[in-house]
Amino acid sequence: MKTTIRDFIENGGDFETTALDLYAWQRANNAEYDRFCGQVSVSHWTEIPAVPSTLFRDLHLTCFPASEATTTFHTSGTTSGRPGVIRLQDTEIYDLSARRHAEACLGGLPTRGVSLAPSATTSSLGHMCRAFIPELVQVFDDIDGLDAPGAWAAIEAAAAEGAPVFLPGTAFAWAELIDTGHDPVTLPPGSVTMVTGGFKGRRRAVAPTVLNSELARLLPGGSVVGEYGMSELASQLWAIPAGAAYRPPPWMRVVAVNPWTGEPDTRGLLRFYDLANHQTVMAIETQDVGIVLPDGSVRLEGRLPGAELRGCSLRAEDSHA
């Protein structure tokens, strides 16, 4: 199945056929997902049972023996204190998916950068950023939080070299950096400032429009973009520029469903069907609410009322709690 998914990512293909084939393969190789699906009959990809993301706390949802996992990602910021665990046998498809869609949305990726994203090896966001740029300068620590003076110094040093710079960070970390009142730093053309995660109703919040405009003012010369992803998904969505709808890759489909009936709707809980999730479960239901536009792109509206707090931005806040 891995070869099929790699070929789809690299060359395209028929989503319906591939999704149904992957569903059948995952039922045959993922015992806990097979039990979850039960006696359901599926004739279209939208009927494939979607696993609630919270079940990754309780089930080993892998298509291989869990003992063979070489990479483990944790969800973050749950109120239960017990993260979900995503196990991968390898990250080949994960890395290929992330890079291909990022390049399709952003053009060529910079070869140097400064990261305000989580640094832990169990962070899927941190893994993605390091996969893009192995020599990424890290200015956020999962225990001590953001080194704001070090961040500005590293950004200035990278900008001075004249080549495009990649600056990934969570919304909360960016808000903290903005609060330092530093003078603007002009970035070389082709630079990318990436914002991901939200504030999840916690102690500190900045409206996305305000955050994006402040980043454009403080880091002129490049572009400010949005990224949406989660540990349970192998693929990401990008908003170009930040504030636009999020664009999924060709190997992913997104469906909004009524949270009470589960029926498809234009607005509702978001379900993701990600072919790159071949090692775990292709279909994931989140507690995020959004609108799926006719072209398949997504406008996020936040969390379902009463849903657990979670997300990469919470790492930045928790480090200061």
28-74 pLDDT, tens per residue? 999 999 999 999 999 999 999 999 998 998 888 999 998 999 999 99
67-86: average pLDDT: 79
Q: Is the confidence at residue 92, as pLDDT, over 90? A: yes
Specify the pLDDT at position 266: 87
Specify the pLDDT at position 313: 40
Find tokens 């997504």 and name the residue. Answer: 298
- 137-138 and 112-115: which strand pairing? parallel
Q: Is the confidence at residue 282, as pLDDT, over 60? A: yes
Specify the pLDDT at position 267: 92
Judged by DSSP in three states, 157 sits in helix
Average pLDDT, the chain: 90
Specify the pLDDT at position 28: 97
Find tokens 């790699």 and name the residue. Answer: 6
CA angle, 292 as apex, 202 and 299 as ends, to 5°?
40
Q: What is each CA distance from 247 to 143, 161, 253, 254, 295, in whole angstroms?
A: 32, 31, 10, 10, 9
The model's confidence at residue 206, banded by pLDDT at 50, 70 and 90, is confident
Q: Is the confidence at residue 215, as pLDDT, over 80? A: yes
Specify the pLDDT at position 166: 98
Q: Is the confidence at residue 202, as pLDDT, over 80? A: no
Comparing CA positions, the residue from 132, 192, 198 lying closest to residue 170 is 198
Contact of 74 with 122, CB cutoff 8 Å: yes
The model's confidence at residue 203, banded by pLDDT at 50, 70 and 90, is low
Token pair for 251: 């190997």
Token pair for 252: 């992913």
Comparing CA positions, the residue from 98, 101, 53 lying closest to residue 247 is 101
Token pair for 161: 């070299």
151-165: average pLDDT: 96
Contact of 89 with 222, CB cutoff 8 Å: no
241 backbone φψ class: left, alpha, beta (φ>0; ψ -120 to 50): beta
Domains of the chain: 2-66+246-303 (no CATH), 93-244+308-318 (3.40.50.12780)
The model's confidence at residue 302, banded by pLDDT at 50, 70 and 90, is confident
User: Up-side HSE of residue 265: CA atoms within 13 Å toward CB?
Assistant: 14
Q: How far apart are CA 78 and CA 318, in angstroms?
A: 11
Specify the pLDDT at position 198: 67
**Cis, bond preceding 65 (omega within 30 deg of 0):** no
Specify the pLDDT at position 138: 95
Residue 229 Cα to chain centre, angstroms: 1
